[in-house]
Structure 1
Amino acid sequence: MTDNDLQAQLQSIERKLDRALNELEFVKHRTATYLGDNVGLTYLVDETPVYVNTDDFGCPANFINGGRYEEEYISILRSFRKPRSVFLDIGANLGVFSLRLAPMLRHGRIFAFEPNPRIHDLFARSSFLGGFDPTIRILPFGASDSEREVSFHVPRDHAGGGAIGSGGASDGDQFTIQVKRLDDWLPQDLRVDIVKIDVEGHELAVLRGMQRILDRSPSVAVLFEKLGTHTGIEADICALLEPMGLKLHLANGTRLEPVTGDSFAGKAGYFLATREDVIHGELERDFVNIFGVDLNLRHGALHADDRYVLDAATVSEGEVFFYGPYWYLARGTYRIELIGELSGQMRLELTERFGFGVQSFLLGNGRTAVDVAVHRDLTKFELVGRSAGSPCALQLERIKLTRLG
């Protein structure tokens, strides 16, 4: 066999393996089990188990058909995440936002609000099965601007469209739920960092009921949905947010577009409200930060401000400094950047599922960032820092992963 023949055979084998992997990915992301009584168990794209109401054509169908749902908004929220962040998931539905962010908030807290009893129960099962109960607290009431009982209408086959009042609809279920002011219910010293509001037209009342929370939370980022244009609530939302320094942006994919009060009424979709010193001018929000507390440390120490510090030392070549965080990383091209100070050299490895190598890089001598192509979703990725055989000192503020495409 000639070298050309051998090369052609290897290329053929590689094509077959690529095809097999693609087909395996399709099957893996569409695994579901019907449990009876219109309840199923399936998996989100990061392999988190989730119970769904199978008679619903909304988000449950997306969960079963690949496990992806509003990925761009999840990316925006996680870009504001810090290890000890408090996340309010208002209008949680089956809890996809909470379930996806929970692995990143093991040191933080999530308060999720879902007043629909059936959906609340399914979400609670998912949280328990995923091991997130220490992080996620699911509340069986809605948020509003006063504490009262209200009529709640859930359209047939679309629990995610549940809204206060009937909306003139005759089909579906109508029942009574309780709503509360979050300013009155949440601890008076609680500061929040991330808020998602999806309440089918009740957004203004929710914001009015949490003004004190927003005012005392300097790093808060609020993602909320506005269902249509010229809804009549736009001026009131601006009047509420502007005195607190919260600026509006339209979420266009993962990019934020600044919105003025005049143009707000003519736009619909998801909007983000935050302060300028929180957004830091970074309008493209498809990134995530990994802090020292998110990592497992073998050498060095974590300081009170969450900086990871490794003093210069000679260790055996290849010895591990840190590893983690075992999160989900979608396929794509990424820039991995060490934010801090690096003296000497170290090896940084991108691996999956507890040590299966993807790529390895040598950092140091002025090089603190690398670009890497990730050809398939990594369900539990980790970054491993190793000795490169020479003394290395590192003061790490964070590792930033930015998706380039």
Structure 2
Amino acid sequence: MLSMVKPQYLLQKLRDKFYSGHLRYIVRQIGLNKILSDPYWKLVYVFSGKTQTHDIDGHKIEFKTDTFTEFMRFRSFAGEEAILKDLLQSLKKTDIVYDVGANVGTYTCFAAMKLQSQQTVAFEPESRNAERLRGNLELNNLDARVLEVALSDTNGTIDFALSGDEAGEGEHAIATDQATETIEVETVRGDRVIEERDLTPPSVVKIDVEGAELSVLRGLSETLRENVRLAYVEVHSEKLPAFGDSAPEVRAFLEGAGFDVTELSSDRSEFFLRASK
């Protein structure tokens, strides 16, 4: 019965049925897709029930989507579904995972579901994101440690740039000269925070820090050499220069730490490096 179909699924079924073939080609050619896309997804969001459920490699997670920003982030995982699948398939039962730049917990939740209690540690300095991350863990009855600090190569505090007012904004980062709205957050070297907070060193790390990749890697240099067997680093080629760094330097650092490095995605200025031993 049509009345039993949830509105958001009905909208997507209608889109899949009619927005295809020759019509899809024409709409894209004249640029109408750019005009219609945002209203369409906002309508789907209205009927979404403020949660989304995703299944990757047999691991099903429900995410809160109280804002349109979160809804769009989880709709496609910002193009990172293949990375998540690779991570989940690569994890071992004994792994300890650090999610650096965890945002609202996409990687944290999936890793925590695959592993046992307290084998996942999330680092997210922005308080609204950290709060939502904890909410997503609770929603799925998952256990992970959430630390509201920014990993870097210095200990102290630093200005942290905000890209918007909603949880799930994906571009919060250590501030550069171009930042307009900032907050002060605690920074700590990864090697030091492990010792100070009595954390188990990671065997797997995922890093997504909007251009501050090398700062995080330098602060974790000892841990990377001695403990980490697998790292996923999102490289932001256009943002690295603001920190005095470059994409080739990120790769070179990982190789210098003893990793074999491969590029998992290369269709954007932002791409993931997979570093393994």
Query: Per-residue displacement from partner, 1:159-190 (whole Å, max 9, x unpaired)?
Result: 210111145144xx321111111101114783
- Please point out which of 243, 250, 259 is paired with 2:256: 243
Which residue pairs with 2:72 in the alignment? 61
Instruction: From the superposition, tell whether residues 74 and 91 of structure 1 become closer, same or farther in structure 2 (CA, over 3 Å).
Output: same
**Secondary structure of the equivalent of 2:54?**
coil
Which residues in structure 2 correspond to 1:264-279 (within 5 Å)? 268-275=270-277
Rounded to whole Å, the distance in 2 between the matches of 1:252 and 1:152 is: 27
Which of the two has greater helix per residue? 2
**Secondary structure of the equivalent of 1:160?**
coil
Structure 2 residue identity aligned to 1:61: M
Deviation of residue 117 (structure 1)?
0.7
1:45 is aligned to 2:54 = yes
Which residue pairs with 1:260 in the alignment? none
Rounded to whole Å, the distance in 2 between the matches of 1:49 and 1:249 is: 31
Instruction: From the superposition, tell whether residues 107 and 138 of structure 1 become closer, same or farther in structure 2 (CA, over 3 Å).
Output: closer
Given that 2:51 and 2:66 are in contact with CA atoms closer than 8 Å, whether structure 1 keeps it comes out as no
**TM-score where L is the length of structure 2:** 0.71
Which residue pairs with 2:162 in the alignment? 154
Given that 1:195 and 1:222 are in contact with CA atoms closer than 8 Å, whether structure 2 keeps it comes out as yes
1:192 is aligned to 2:202 = yes
Deviation of residue 61 (structure 1)?
1.5
Rounded to whole Å, the distance in 2 between the matches of 1:53 and 1:200 is: 24
Deviation of residue 125 (structure 1)?
1.3
Which residue pairs with 2:233 in the alignment? 224
Cα RMSD after superposing both structures:
3.4
Which residues in structure 2 correspond to 1:293-332 (within 5 Å)? none
Deviation of residue 226 (structure 1)?
1.3
- Please point out which of 124, 127, 141 is paired with 1:114: 124
Which residue pairs with 2:40 in the alignment? none
Structure 2 residue identity aligned to 1:150: I
Rounded to whole Å, the distance in 2 between the matches of 1:70 and 1:179 is: 27
Structure 2 residue identity aligned to 1:79: Q
- Please point out which of 177, 182, 199 is paired with 1:174: 182
Give the structure with higher Rg (CA): 1
Given that 1:42 and 1:52 are in contact with CA atoms closer than 8 Å, whether structure 2 keeps it comes out as yes
Q: Percent identity?
A: 24
Rounded to whole Å, the distance in 1 between the matches of 2:116 and 2:87 is: 16
> Gaps (5+ residues) in structure 2?
14-43
Which residue pairs with 1:32 in the alignment? 48
1:208 is aligned to 2:218 = yes
Given that 1:26 and 1:66 are in contact with CA atoms closer than 8 Å, whether structure 2 keeps it comes out as no
Structure 2 residue identity aligned to 1:105: L
Rounded to whole Å, the distance in 2 between the matches of 1:105 and 1:182 is: 22
Query: Per-residue displacement from partner, 1:139-163 (whole Å, max 9, x unpaired)?
Result: 1111101111111111136721011
Rounded to whole Å, the distance in 1 between the matches of 2:223 and 2:251 is: 17
Rounded to whole Å, the distance in 2 between the matches of 1:168 and 1:235 is: 23
Deviation of residue 69 (structure 1)?
5.5
Which residues in structure 2 correspond to 1:246-265 (within 5 Å)? 246-252=259-265
After the TM superposition, list the runs of 4 or more consecutive aligned residues in structure 1 that deviate by more than 6 angstroms.
none
- Please point out which of 119, 135, 147 is paired with 1:139: 147
Instruction: From the superposition, tell whether residues 93 and 55 of structure 1 become closer, same or farther in structure 2 (CA, over 3 Å).
Output: same
Rounded to whole Å, the distance in 2 between the matches of 1:163 and 1:77 is: 24
Rounded to whole Å, the distance in 2 between the matches of 1:25 and 1:221 is: 40
Given that 1:117 and 1:140 are in contact with CA atoms closer than 8 Å, whether structure 2 keeps it comes out as yes
Rounded to whole Å, the distance in 2 between the matches of 1:129 and 1:189 is: 25
Structure 1 residue identity aligned to 2:226: R
Query: Per-residue displacement from partner, 1:97-147 (whole Å, max 9, x unpaired)?
Result: 1112222112660010111111111111111221112xx101111110111
